Amino acid sequence: MKDDFKKNNDNKSSADGVTEYLQALENNDQEREHLYYSQEQAFDSDELATIINEARLTRLLTQSDEFLHSLSGEIADFED
């Protein structure tokens, strides 16, 4: 039995061993990713409403609009 194992092992190159090891790692990563994403749950609108600070979100959106507007003006001035 040891001789059979040794013969099978002798027929393998070190590249085959590396390939098998990398495939095992990839399978492990895929299993971990599947487990991670299987635990995700969708939020309904009521849950989101309790999490999101609407006033803060509105202020951030206003600031981003003002920034983009000023940036557009700077770009237009730069082209002239």
Report the C-alpha gap between 57 and 17 in whole angstroms.
53
Query: What is the number of structural domains in the chain?
Result: 2
Amino acid at 60: L
Amino acid at 4: D
Amino acid at 70: S
The answer on pLDDT for 8 being more than 60 is no
User: In terms of domains, do 27 and 1 share one?
Assistant: yes
pTM reported for the whole predicted model: 0.38
User: In terms of domains, do 50 and 73 share one?
Assistant: yes
User: In terms of domains, do 51 and 75 share one?
Assistant: yes
The model's pLDDT over 18-76, given as tens digits with 9 standing for 90+, comes to 889 988 888 888 888 887 877 777 778 888 888 889 899 999 999 999 999 999 888 88
